[in-house]
């Protein structure tokens, strides 16, 4: 059991070794740290924007999604959406938004944990943070599609507006509205977090690869000796 | 503790610090971001500097020639034309005269922005059309009689330190001696107070420099408290007055319980102005008919117009209002019609009422921006007479009297307080000021605006000699008041001036025998004789008297009420306001309560069924939050129409005393499905036992 655990967390670095190759061991740690900070900060930044433009809204209507809430002209957009029978935006991704903060904190801690694990298993802990941007986008698309395709057939304008999939990124349109959607700063922070984590792993594994293999070799040697002995 | 561990702790702390700073910065950024996106759109409208090419000059010349415009016309057009979407620099709040309303115009475009109903029910704003017990009707009652109009005269913007602060607007009703209070956050009338002493008056509504009081001066002397006495007892029983309405800025209301009045001799008090700066603490008020003529042309007596104009001098009233306030505080008052009045003997004994002679049947008394001078325009004298407040203070201290009037009010010696007289022309009425040491006086008989120079501190501000006429610009015709940009405040802007002409005669297309008034815009931005008229605007909605022009950016106007369910009268969220999801009709005996919400494009509920004779309390909340998404709500045949502005809550009560089927609908074209925003009030006739149930109506659908 202890051996399994040791395999999992990998070898520790002796102070002498650390002093000898300071950069080798601190570079990945700093990268993971940067990734974590980016992810944490992204909590406070918008992940996605949509701007709606129509003649009677000279200042436009805006929708901003943070990981845990939707803000902007939600009320007005809901009011307009009722004409085409779209459900209120507040019903979209309600579960995802309610757990988002904890999920991000969990990812933060997992990446933190990954930095402590000097084996190749560390990558498992970082997978959520690395794949998070893709998951976010997929979820966004899922909800847009679900909302756009499930319009209330009893709505005032259901005869003239057929179900549609709103544009998730880029220019779209519905009725007299033009829509412009783009990913926000928070999302790019999350992407940067993922990319930096991957790069961090490269250096992380490069730093500990030798130590890890030496540890395994040593264990094999000990095992052989015991077998022989 | 090894180095590695120390490093970890250190870096964790650094990361937390970094994260803290980043979070702080990015939270602010995120908030600013949406605002920035909105701004980006409006910034795009900025015009590039213009340079005319020869081809463009030719085009402009062609247009000008085809419309017979000269260079001055083109310049006037360029100075006033306001392109689509561009906002005006100033807002002009004008009395609406006999319409009983206030009108707001943009300057320099002279476009009508909107009317504000005050003394006259107005259906678009739903003002006074809210059923049987409408608050407006109750406020407009005088002696138990609804008086549903007003002769609005003088708007007074609230001031802080002698400057317009853009918070409130007061407006007087000459015909019925009332003052209306308008909140400039939503441009709606919040209060109307009726003067308890006099039926009509003229000298409202002027404010003290910090809007401590709103001054309402009298005019036609009567027996105070709506009393009666034969005209033969005029000198004994008739009295003039000035009322000090205490303004409670936090509540946005006049506090009648802290207001008081002063008894004055039965001269016909006219306009007034509050001192500021050097003259802070004084009220200056004109009067005419110190002759105390009582008319009677039908009996061969001289008519008022002759009798009241006999003497060469009338009396300017000089009132130390802080001393008057102290006398009121000390209880030195007599209650007349339930209202505290400081009697003449108290004002004389406590030394806060003085007169000084002024020529001749004057109209306006206007204090210069620094407060050092008072300018009186005697309508039957070609001069403006300028008084020095320093000299007034000295004369009061030295008791330099030339006598006293028949009521014992001391009269300050004219020569001791007069600073200058400037001959400006015939029929001078009112004076306003600019930032270049000029004063502007309206000349009724000359139909002109006179520009003349002030002395004292103002002497260095322009090249001309002090106290001299500089130029006159003809206006069309019979100018009454005039208003320069912030021209009666402590720091006039010196940009635009409105001439409020009573007659327009030939200036516009004929509109039948009733012609509009003419508001003319003068450019007073230059010095010397350059003071052209640059715009004529017909005002065909009543005869405005006075107006004030405030820099538009001083107004902090709401475009949507702050919270859904807003009670605009109380300026707060109303817990009674129906919420989305709590709509319905409930009955308690013959009292029916309707809780309704309105949003594009439906009312909820859409059917309200009551019995003939039921008393209905109907509450509607607009759950809109978008700018300009206003709904109306009318019930035809019941004289009901409401304006439901975004987030507003309105309650009204009426007795459904006529059976029938009454469609109700939205009266503001709100949306593409506006016509569908309707419903039915079903009033079941009395004694109808087998009523066609509403269920069957719905079942038929």
- Find, among B549, B582, B555, the residue nearest to B483 by Cα: B549
pLDDT for B644 beyond 50? yes
Is B418 a domain residue?
Answer: no
Q: Do A13 and B4 touch (CB under 8 A)?
A: yes
User: pLDDT over 90 for what percent of chain A?
Assistant: 64
Q: Which of A37, A48, A80 should we substitute to test contact with B (largest number of B Cβ atoms within 10 Å)?
A: A37
pLDDT of residue B5: 58
d(CA B350, CA B410): 12
User: Could you write out the DSSP letters of every residue in B53-107?
Assistant: -HHHHHHHHHHHHHTT--HHHHHHHHHH---TTPPPSEEEEEE-BTT-EEEEEEE
Residue B41 to residue A58, Cβ atoms within 8 A: yes
Distance CA B132, CA B134 (A): 6
Q: Give the residue from chain B lying closest to A112, CA to CA.
A: B12
Looking at the DSSP bridge assignments, the partners of residue B410 are: B404
Residues B303-351 have pLDDT tens digits of 999 999 999 999 999 999 999 999 999 999 999 999 999 999 999 999 9
Q: What is the pLDDT of residue A13?
A: 84
Residue B314, classed as helix, strand or coil, is strand
For residue A216, the model assigns a pLDDT of 85
Nearest to A44 among B23, B624, B676 (CB): B23
Q: Which phi and psi angles does A156 have, rounded to 5°?
A: -55, -40
CB contact under 8 A, B600 and A79: yes
For the ranges A16-25, A218-227, B154-163, B425-434, the lowest mean pLDDT is seen at: A218-227
CB of A37 within 8 Å of a chain B CB? The answer is yes
| Residue B133 predicted with pLDDT over 90 | no
In a domain, B160, yes or no: no
Residue B501 counted as domain residue: no
On chain A, the residues whose CB falls within 8 A of the CB of B15 are 33, 36-37
Would you state the pLDDT for residue B203? 87
Give B215-224 pLDDT, tens digit per residue: 999 999 999 9
Report the number of distinct structural domains present in chain A: 1
Q: CB of B73 within 8 A of CB of B536?
A: no
Mean pLDDT, chain B, as a whole number?
93
CATH of the domain at B637: 2.60.40.420
pLDDT above 90 covers what percent of chain B? 88
- Average pLDDT of the residues in B86-91: 97
Contacts of B291 (CB under 8 A, 6+ apart): B307, B308, B309, B310, B311
The model's pLDDT over B446-483, given as tens digits with 9 standing for 90+, comes to 999 999 999 999 999 999 999 999 999 999 999 999 99
Interface test with B, best of A75, A115, A154, A200 (most B CBs within 10 A): A75
What does the alpha-carbon distance between residue B604 and residue A33 come to, in Å, rounded to a whole number?
A: 55
Q: How would you label B304-332 residue by residue, b for 16+ Cβ within 10 Å and e otherwise?
A: beebbbebebbbbbbbbbebbbebbeeeb
Return the DSSP state at B461.
G
Query: Residues B492, B435: contact at Cβ < 8 Å?
Result: yes
A72 lies in some domain: yes
Q: How confident is the model at residue A36, as a pLDDT?
A: 93
- Answer whether B38 sits within 8 Å of A79, measured CB to CB: no
Say yes or no to pLDDT of B375 above 90: yes
Say what the pLDDT of residue B77 is.
97
Of A229, A226, A218, give the one whose Cα is nearest residue A11. A218
Using alpha carbons, select from B602, B604, B595 the residue that is nearest to residue B651: B595
pLDDT: which is higher, A120 or A173 = A173
Instruction: Look at residue B701 and tell me whether its pLDDT is greater than 50.
Output: no
Report CA-CA distances (Å) from A206 to A29, B184, B244.
13, 70, 87
**What radius of gyration do chain A's Cα atoms show?**
25
Residues of B in contact with A64 (CB under 8 A): 33-34
Tally of CB atoms within 10 A around B469? 16
What's the distance, CA A192 to chain centroid? 10
Number of domains in chain B: 1
> Cα A6 to the chain's mean position, in Å?
30
Question: Which residues of A, range 95-114, sit inside 8 Å of B by Cβ?
Answer: none
Give how far A226 is from chain B: nearest CA, Å: 34
> B87 to chain A nearest CA, in Å?
14
> Is the Cβ pair A156, B625 closer than 8 Å?
no
Predicted confidence (pLDDT) at residue A229 exceeds the cutoff of 70: no
| Residue A227 belongs to some domain of the structure | no
3-state secondary structure at position B225: coil
Given A15, A18, A40, which is nearest B19 (Cβ)?
Answer: A40
Residue of A nearest to B5 (CA): A15
pLDDT score for B6: 61
Question: For residue A9, what are the domain limits?
Answer: 2-222
Q: Which of B233, B228, B127, B145 is nearest to B182 (CA)?
A: B127
Tokens linked to B269: 């008090």
User: pLDDT per residue over A29-42, tens digit each?
Assistant: 999 999 999 999 99
The Cα diameter of chain B in Å comes to 118
What tokens were used for B576? 């009674």
Residue B40 reports pLDDT greater than 80:
no
pLDDT greater than 70 at residue B42: no
**Which of the residue ranges B41-50, B290-299, B669-678 would you say has the lowest mean pLDDT?**
B41-50
Close Cβ partners of B480 (under 8 Å, ≥ 6 residues apart): B429, B430, B442, B444, B500, B501, B502, B545, B546
- Tell me how far apart the alpha carbons of residues B117 and B148 are, in angstroms, rounded to a whole number: 11
Q: Is B17 on the interface with A (CB under 8 A)?
A: no
Residue B693 pLDDT exceeds 90: no
- pLDDT value at residue B361: 87
Q: Is the model's pLDDT at B41 over the cut of 70?
A: no
Helix (H) / strand (E) element for B282: namely strand B282-288
Give A36's contacts in chain B (Cβ within 8 Å): 15
- Closest CB from B19, B42, B625 relative to A41: B19
SS (H, E, C) B399-438: CCEEEECCCCCEEECHHHHEEEEEECCCCEEEEEECCCCE
| Cβ neighbours of B456 (radius 10 Å) | 19
The string of DSSP letters for B361-385 reads SEEEEEE-TTSSEEEEEETTSSEEE
| pLDDT tens-digit readout, B610-625 | 999 999 999 999 999 9
**How far is residue B282's CA from residue B322's CA, in Å, rounded to a whole number?**
8
The number of CA neighbours under 13 Å toward the Cβ of A74 is 12
Residues A142-164 pLDDT 10s: 999 999 999 999 999 988 888 99
Q: For residues A127 and A136, what is the distance between their CA atoms, to the nearest angstrom?
A: 14
Tell me which of B9, B12, B15, B17 to substitute to probe the interface with A (most A C-beta atoms closer than 10 Å).
Answer: B15
Q: What is the pLDDT of residues A40-61, one digit of tens each?
A: 999 999 999 999 999 999 999 9
Q: How far apart are CA A179 and CA B392, in angstroms?
A: 70
Q: Read out DSSP for B95-121? A: E-BTT-EEEEEEETT--EEEEEESSS-
**Residues near A222 by beta carbon (within 8 Å), at least 6 away in sequence:** none
Q: Which tokens go with B460?
A: 């260095």
Q: Is B63 exposed, middle or buried (0-12, 13-18, 19+ CB in 10 A)?
A: exposed
How far is the CA of B554 from the CAs of A69, A84, B94, B228, in angstroms? Answer: 36, 41, 17, 46
The tally of CA atoms less than 13 A away on the side-chain side of residue B588 is 4
Q: Name which of A25, A36, A59 is nearest B41 (Cβ-Cβ).
A: A59
What confidence category does residue A114 fall into, taking pLDDT thresholds of 50, 70 and 90?
confident
Q: How far is Cα A225 from Cα A217, in angstroms, rounded to an integer? A: 12
Which two three-digit tokens encode residue B552? 């538009």
pLDDT at A221: 86
pLDDT, chain A, mean? 91
Per-residue pLDDT, B25: 57
**Strand B678-684 vs strand B607-611: parallel, antiparallel, or unpaired?**
parallel
Are A46 and B30 inside 8 Å of each other by CB? yes
For tokens 């039965």, what's the residue? B266
Ranking A197-206, B91-100, B328-337, B654-663 by mean pLDDT, the lowest is A197-206
Q: Is B406 domain-assigned?
A: no
Between CA B431 and CA B374 the distance in angstroms is 10
Indicate if the alpha-carbon torsion angle A103, A105, A110, A111 is positive or negative.
Answer: positive
CB A40 within 8 Å of CB B19: yes
Domain that holds residue B638: 566-699
Q: Is A64 helix (H, G, I), strand (E, B) or coil?
A: strand
Q: What is the CA radius of gyration of chain B?
A: 30
Length reported for chain B: 701
Task: Tell me how far CA of residue B151 lies from CA of B178, B189, B201, B261, B543, in angstroms.
Answer: 10, 16, 10, 22, 9
What are the tens digits of pLDDT across the range A72-88?
Answer: 999 999 999 999 999 99
Specify the pLDDT at position B484. Answer: 98
Question: Residue B375: CA atoms inside 13 Å, Cβ hemisphere, count?
Answer: 29
């Amino acid at each position: 059991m202890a051996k399994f655990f040791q395999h999992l967390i990998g070898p520790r670095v002796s102070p002498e070794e650390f002093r000898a190759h300071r950069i080798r061991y601190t570079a990945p740690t700093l990268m993971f740290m940067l990734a974590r900070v980016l992810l944490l900060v992204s909590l406070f930044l918008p992940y996605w924007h949509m701007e709606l433009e129509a003649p009677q809204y000279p200042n436009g209507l805006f929708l901003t999604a943070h990981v845990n809430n939707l803000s902007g002209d939600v009320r007005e957009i809901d009011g307009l959406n009722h004409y085409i029978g779209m459900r209120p935006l507040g019903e979209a991704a309600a579960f995802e938004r309610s757990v988002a903060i904890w999920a991000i904190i969990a990812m933060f801690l997992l990446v933190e944990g990954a930095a402590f694990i000097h084996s190749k298993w560390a990558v498992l802990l970082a997978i959520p943070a690395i794949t998070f941007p893709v998951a976010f986008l997929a979820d966004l698309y899922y909800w847009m599609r679900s909302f756009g395709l499930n319009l209330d057939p009893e709505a005032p304008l259901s005869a003239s507006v057929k179900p549609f999939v709103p544009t998730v990124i880029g220019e779209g349109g519905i009725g007299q509205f033009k829509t412009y959607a783009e990913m926000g700063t928070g999302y790019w922070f999350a992407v940067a977090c993922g990319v930096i984590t991957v790069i961090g792993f490269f250096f992380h594994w490069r730093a500990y690869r030798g130590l890890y293999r030496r540890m395994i070799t040593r264990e094999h040697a000990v095992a052989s000796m015991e077998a022989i002995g | 503790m090894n180095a590695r561990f120390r490093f970890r702790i250190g870096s964790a702390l650094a990361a937390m610090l970094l994260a803290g700073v980043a979070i702080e910065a990015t939270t602010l950024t995120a908030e600013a971001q949406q605002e920035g996106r909105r701004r980006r759109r409006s910034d795009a409208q900025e015009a590039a500097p213009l340079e005319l090419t020869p081809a463009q000059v030719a085009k402009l010349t062609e247009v000008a020639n085809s419309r017979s415009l000269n260079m001055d016309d083109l310049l006037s057009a360029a100075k006033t034309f306001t392109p689509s979407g561009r906002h005006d620099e100033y807002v002009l709040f004008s009395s609406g005269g006999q319409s009983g309303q206030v009108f707001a115009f943009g300057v320099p475009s002279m476009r009508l922005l909107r009317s504000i109903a005050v003394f006259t029910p107005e259906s678009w704003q739903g003002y006074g059309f809210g059923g049987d017990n409408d608050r407006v009707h109750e406020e407009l009652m005088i002696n138990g009689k609804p008086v549903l109009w007003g002769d609005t005269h003088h708007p007074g913007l609230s001031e802080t330190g002698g400057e317009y602060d853009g918070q409130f607007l007061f407006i007087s009703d000459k015909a019925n001696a009332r003052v209306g209070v308008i909140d400039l956050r939503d441009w709606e009338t919040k209060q109307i107070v009726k003067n308890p002493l006099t039926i009509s008056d003229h000298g409202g509504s002027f404010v003290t420099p910090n809007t401590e009081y709103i001054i309402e001066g009298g005019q036609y002397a009567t027996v105070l408290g709506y009393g009666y006495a034969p005209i033969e007892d005029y000198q004994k029983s008739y009295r003039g007055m000035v009322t000090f309405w205490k303004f409670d800025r936090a509540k946005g209301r006049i506090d009648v319980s802290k207001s008081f009045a002063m008894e004055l001799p039965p001269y016909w008090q006219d306009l007034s102005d509050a001192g500021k700066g050097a003259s802070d603490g004084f009220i200056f008020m004109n009067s005419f008919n110190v002759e105390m003529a009582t008319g009677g042309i039908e009996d061969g007596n001289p008519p008022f117009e002759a009798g009241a104009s006999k003497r060469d001098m009338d009396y300017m009233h000089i009132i130390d209002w802080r001393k008057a306030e102290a006398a009121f505080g000390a209880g030195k008052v007599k209650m007349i019609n339930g209202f505290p009045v400081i009697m003449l003997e108290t004002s004389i004994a406590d030394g806060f009422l003085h007169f000084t002679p002024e020529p001749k049947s004057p109209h306006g008394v206007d204090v210069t921006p620094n407060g050092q001078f008072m300018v009186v325009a005697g309508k039957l004298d070609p001069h403006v007479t300028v008084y020095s407040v320093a000299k007034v203070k000295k004369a009061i201290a030295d008791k330099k009297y030339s006598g006293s009037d028949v009521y014992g009010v001391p009269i300050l010696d004219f020569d001791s307080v007069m600073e200058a007289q400037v001959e400006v022309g015939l029929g001078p009425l009112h004076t306003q000021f600019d930032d270049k040491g000029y004063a502007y006086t309206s000349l009724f008989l000359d139909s002109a605006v006179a520009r003349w120079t002030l002395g004292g501190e103002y002497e260095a501000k322009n090249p001309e000699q002090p106290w001299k006429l500089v130029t006159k610009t003809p206006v069309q015709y019979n100018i009454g008041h005039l208003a320069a940009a912030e021209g009666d405040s402590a720091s006039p802007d010196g940009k635009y001036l409105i001439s409020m002409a009573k007659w327009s005669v030939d200036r516009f297309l004929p509109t039948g025998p009733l012609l509009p008034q003419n508001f003319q815009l003068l450019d007073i931005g230059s010095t010397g004789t350059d003071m052209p008229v640059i715009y004529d605007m017909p005002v065909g909605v009543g005869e405005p008297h006075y107006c004030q022009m405030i820099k538009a950016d001083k107004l902090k106007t709401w475009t949507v009420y702050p919270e859904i369910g807003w009670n605009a009268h109380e300026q707060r969220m109303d817990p009674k306001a129906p919420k989305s999801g709590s709509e319905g009709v409930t009955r308690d005996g013959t009292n029916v309560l309707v809780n309704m919400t309105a949003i594009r494009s439906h009312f909820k509920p859409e059917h309200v069924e009551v019995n003939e004779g039921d008393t209905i309390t109907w509450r509607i909340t607009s759950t809109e939050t978008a700018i300009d998404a206003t709904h109306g709500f009318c019930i035809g045949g019941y004289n009901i129409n409401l304006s439901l502005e975004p987030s507003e809550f309105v309650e009204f009560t009426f007795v459904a005393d006529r059976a029938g089927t009454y469609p109700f609908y939205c009266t503001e074209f709100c949306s593409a499905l506006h016509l569908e925003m309707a419903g039915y009030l079903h009033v079941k006739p009395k004694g109808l036992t087998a009523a066609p149930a509403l269920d069957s109506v719905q079942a038929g659908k």
